[in-house]
Amino acid sequence: MVCLGMETIANNNKGGKDMKVKDIPERFALVTDSQEIEAVGDHIGTILDDFGCLFVDVIEGDYAQVYGCESSVPWIGANVYEIEIAPVVRWIK
């Protein structure tokens, strides 16, 4: 599992632009429960302790894209950071 600090995540935002909650497309689901945030982190292979809420896009039962917000109250001007999803390794026999 990877532990990413806020600086690392901020530097990895696509295009280097500052994203805000208001920029998140409507298709993303809001996750605010700390246990659910931990479960998302476990699933994508990242520790998400620095985030108060997440915005997740689920396609065919898997996380396609995840953004994190430091605040647990996602006001529209709050910064969001794209979270890298660890690649899934599948063994083929």
DSSP category for residue 26: T
**85 bridge partner residues:** none
Q: Determine the pLDDT at residue 17.
A: 63
State residue 9's pLDDT score.
Answer: 47
- Quick one: how far is CA 75 from the chain centroid? 16
Q: Where are the domains of the chain?
A: 2-83
Between 31 and 13, name the one with better pLDDT: 31
pLDDT at position 78, please?
Answer: 95
Helices (H) and strands (E) counted in the chain, each on its own, are 2, 7
**What CATH number does domain 2-83 carry, 3.10.450.450, 3.40.190.10, 3.40.50.300, 2.60.40.420?**
3.10.450.450
